[in-house]
Amino acid sequence: MKVTFINPPQTNSKYKFLGVVAPSLGIGYMSAVLEENDIDVDVIDASALDLSYEQIAEEIIKRQPDIVSISALTPTIGVALDSADVVKYAKPDTIVVLGGYHPTFEFASVLEEESVDIVIRGEGEYTMLDLVHAIEEERDLKQVQGLAFHDKDDGSLVVTEDRPIIEDLDELPFPALHLMPMDKYKILNISTNVATVITTRGCPMQCSFCSSAALHGRHLRRRSPENVVDEIEHILNDLDGIDTIAFMDDTFTLNTKFVRDFCAEIKRRNLNFWWGCTSRVDTIDTELLEIMKDAGCITLFFGVESADQTALDKMNKNITVDKTVKAFKAAKEVGIRTIASCVIGMPDDTMENMKRTYDFVMKLDPSYALFSLATPYPGTRFYKESFEKNLIKVKDWSKYTLIEPVLETVECSKEELRSFQKKAFLKFYLRPGYLFRQARMDGAVLVKTIFGVAKQIIKKQTNGNTDYNKKNVIQSGSFGK
Ligand code: B12
Ligand code: SF4
């Protein structure tokens, strides 16, 4: 049985404009588990390779998979479904499986699409493995945990029992990066020397807008520091030219003991590399940051969200404005770059409190800032509340990119929110003193690129997947079917 994973083409999102193309660790883990169990598996990263639908069809014809598994976030569900259509057209007997954030929560609507046979809900590693074995052995799929599909006989929607989460993350093999086009991953359109690693799953905090916590659950699972550093050693030794690791965890610094042990393990093995990670302002202090810096940490990403304590409390963010100030001060003292991520346009936001958030960010003086528009993703409390209160103004999922408004606030229209976001980016990044400082710290080329890309984000409206047209492929059949 041959399985092909597809990461669908990236047609929208600020990351396309920012030139961020990273490997999908989810696909990497699932492929590694299948490989470990002697299943023939490969990956088409249509996003990294910038493949058209025609090229995806050609790949399917060339590779002849029995099962094609396609990954989808909310903004990429449209391109994922179009990819499914193209797969079915190129090889009609393929079993098409969809998984990831959007299908997990929206499995019923996803399964309405003719080209989708099965949805995998939640973590995919062992569900995928079980599914492949069940298909090979012609077992009843109703016995496979974590699936949703339509019953062959009566067409009813079958949702199988939930699969328990993977408790011991150390038991998983490292992501199968050798199946990925590693030379195609970029940041700011510059080929990168950065690899991504994840050390935890789940988050006990449960902020109202966070899909990650919704999918991976409240229960934090953590790899051992030794297992993480083994993976880093493997990356540094076996992948060409990597000298920087980006930790993509929800909150890398959630457990201080883990961070200390991890840093000690790096020092013990005498490894030299740069790294950056996500953090929460209530999980660090100067002493911890000094240990992290000594072990190579150069960048910290913080969810600042808002300057308004009531807004923070409503989001269930569980931080105080005061802690945010202290965390940025500590990072500056220790000399670690900071990224401040804010959310604007929550339903109760007024123009005044959004301005206050902007001014607050300026005072924090981070190295970089992101002003995302509040976006209710399926599966989150924010989505449920926005849906129930009829606040959702845009139903096209391809617009759920954080740069297009999909809600209005008590006071601001969609247009006002977008205009505020543009101005916030412009005012933050186009300060001569700021550009000079960042050029000294990160190099003039990087700053010039950021400057150009920031301008592009401001100008560009995402337009769904209009630059990809599956109909052209299906009608022309030009890929030699
Ligand atoms: C790394 C990352 C990125 C990277 C790389 C994305 C990539 N290629 O995977 C970059 C920076 C490019 C990125 C961009 C964006 N991201 Co992002 N990203 C993440 C992050 C931090 C980690 C993802 C990860 O590696 N997880 C570890 C792996 C092991 O877990 P996993 O991805 O969940 O995969 C498991 C399951 O979901 C499932 N599964 C996943 N895919 C599939 C596919 C199949 C077929 C099956 C069967 C199962 C399956 O099985 C996997 C293994 O257990 C997550 C937050 C998080 N902690 O997950 C956000 C997250 C996935 N991103 C999100 C979003 C919204 C975006 C953006 C739209 C905007 C943004 N964040 O600013 C863009 C859109 C990108 C695009 N393609 O259009 C949201 C998704 C919400 C949603 N409902 O869609 C998340 C959850 C952040 C959040 N907290 O809300 N992102
Ligand atoms: S936003 Fe961060 S802290 Fe909040 S639930 Fe999500 S991962 Fe946890």
* Strand duo 200-201 + 221-222: pairing: antiparallel
pLDDT at position 478 is 45
Residue 477 in this model has a pLDDT that exceeds 60:
no
**From ligand 1's centre to the CA of 73, what distance in Å?**
7
| CB-ligand 1 contact for 120 (6 Å cutoff) | yes
Which of 101, 200, 201, 206 to mutate for ligand 2's pocket (most ligand atoms within 8 Å of CB)?
A: 206
Q: If DSSP states are collapsed to H, E and C, what string results for 18-80? A: HCCECCCHHHHHHHHHHHHCCCEEEEEECCCCCCCHHHHHHHHHHHCCCEEEEECCCCCHHHH
Q: Which ligand is nearest to the CA of 208?
A: 2
Sheet holding 274-279, edge to edge: 194-197, 244-247, 274-279, 297-305, 337-344, 368-373
Domain 193-459 bears CATH identifier 3.30.930.10: no
pLDDT grade for 471, boundaries at 50, 70 and 90? low
**From ligand 1's centre to the CA of 308, what distance in Å?**
28
Q: What is the mean pLDDT of residues 361-376?
A: 95
> Which residue is closest in CA terms to ligand 2's atom 2?
250
> Which residue is closest in CA terms to ligand 2's atom 7?
250
Q: How long, in residues, is the chain?
A: 481
| CB-ligand 1 contact for 374 (6 Å cutoff) | no
| CB-ligand 1 contact for 147 (6 Å cutoff) | no
| CB-ligand 1 contact for 70 (6 Å cutoff) | yes
> Which residue is closest in CA terms to ligand 2's atom 3?
205
- For residue 2, give the H/E element and its range: strand 2-7
**From ligand 2's centre to the CA of 205, what distance in Å?**
6
Q: Which of 414, 407, 324 is nearest to 369 (CA)?
A: 324
| CB-ligand 2 contact for 319 (6 Å cutoff) | no
Cα distance between residue 189 and residue 156, in whole Å: 46
Phi, psi of 195 (to 5 degrees): -115, 155
Which of 182, 212, 368 to mutate for ligand 1's pocket (most ligand atoms within 8 Å of CB)?
A: 212
**From ligand 2's centre to the CA of 30, what distance in Å?**
24
pLDDT grade for 235, boundaries at 50, 70 and 90? very high
pLDDT at position 193 is 78
Give strand ranges (E) for 62-171: 67-71, 95-99, 118-120, 147-150, 157-159
Which of 25, 167, 171, 467 to mutate for ligand 1's pocket (most ligand atoms within 8 Å of CB)?
A: 25
Q: Which of 361, 362, 344 is nearest to 353 (CA)?
A: 344
Whether 207 contacts 374, CB under 8 Å: no
pLDDT grade for 480, boundaries at 50, 70 and 90? very low
pTM of the model: 0.93
pLDDT at position 187 is 66
Q: Which of 179, 195, 176 is nearest to 187 (CA)?
A: 195
Q: What is the mean pLDDT of the chain?
A: 90
pLDDT at position 465 is 40
Q: Which ligand is nearest to the CA of 220?
A: 2
Domain ranges of the chain: 2-159, 193-459
Q: If DSSP states are collapsed to H, E and C, what string results for 310-327? A: HHHHHCCCCCCHHHHHHH
Cα distance between residue 362 and residue 63, in whole Å: 52
According to CATH, the topology of domain 2-159 is: Rossmann fold (3.40.50)
pLDDT grade for 343, boundaries at 50, 70 and 90? very high
| CB-ligand 2 contact for 288 (6 Å cutoff) | no
| CB-ligand 1 contact for 99 (6 Å cutoff) | yes
Which of 11, 43, 47, 101 to mutate for ligand 1's pocket (most ligand atoms within 8 Å of CB)?
A: 101
Q: Which ligand is nearest to the CA of 165?
A: 1
Q: What percent of the chain has pLDDT over 90?
A: 73
Query: Residue 283 in 3-state DSSP?
Result: coil
| CB-ligand 1 contact for 303 (6 Å cutoff) | no
pLDDT tens per residue across span 178-223: 999 988 887 655 556 788 999 999 988 888 888 888 888 888 999 9
